[in-house]
Chains A and B, each alone.
Chain A
Amino acid sequence: MEGFISTVSGAISSKNMSEPLVFHFEVDGSDFTSAGTASVTVKKNLRQLGLPSEVIRKLSIAMYEGEINMVIHAEGGTADVIVTEEYIDIILKDQGPGIPDVDLAMQEGYSTATAQIHSLGFGAGMGLPNMKRYSDEMKIDTVLGVGTTVSMRIYIR
């Protein structure tokens, strides 16, 4: 994963949260073993900021599931995390095939993942439901053949 983080180090050292923290990652879709690297990086950085552990856990699980989804279904994409004083936004954008039926995809247990993905421990049809479960707000914009953007918000207080 070729990720980079902008503005993080300065914000951590100053502990000044008036400016939102922005993380940006390119999620490599070609290598399943590296999927989740961005989520781990975000989690470690947010721990240093001293955010409540429950907030960090919700955010990192939601983002991790999203990263896995992008690798499994869309050959990767981008992940942006914006941390403000009130909430954290996660925006996952891919140029994959799109989701034909979002309501169906949101059902627990429904999955189009292959047997190979199952053998890696994923594809149980829990990805999108988990993202909804662990975020406070979630929006899916998807266009067949163009791509999908999943936006999630988690409130800090």
Chain B
Amino acid sequence: MKISDVKELLDAEVLCGEENLGHDVFSACGCDMMSDVLAFAKDQAVLLTGLVNPQVVRTAEMMDMVCIVFVRSKRPSEAILKLAEASGIVVMATRVRMYEACGRLYINGLRGDKLKEHV
């Protein structure tokens, strides 16, 4: 799906990176613990999280992720958005909670770690 589909499915508000909504994404992960994202994520393009601090953007950048979704109405600061903009990362915010946000994306074809699907 495209990042614009993520926005629609989650009824999300795009906070920065609007110009990149046309990018294709094939997998996502939902996590509040950035250490675990760094340990276990692989080729996931979208990060859903309820954690709001600049390290979320840096973690996404390190993992080559292209989109961050802040769930359950969390709002990032201007400083966080500036960091994301500098890295070309789309940031959006949704009222939907983590479990449901992941579920909506998953049933519409945005899967998790490809390796784990076969376990």
Contacts and interface: CB of A to CB of B under 8 A. Distances in A.
Interface of A: 32-36, 39-40, 43, 53, 57, 60-61, 64-65, 68, 108, 120-127, 129-130, 133
A121 B62 contact: no
Interface residues on B, range: 20 to 34
B58 A121 contact: no
Contact of A121 (B32, B39, B79): B32
A57 B61 CA distance: 9
Interface string B80-98: 0000000100000000000
B39 A126 contact: yes
Nearest to B61: A40
Interface string B1-44: 00000000000000000000000000000001111101100000
Nearest to A120: B53
B56 interface: yes
A8 B55 CA distance: 26
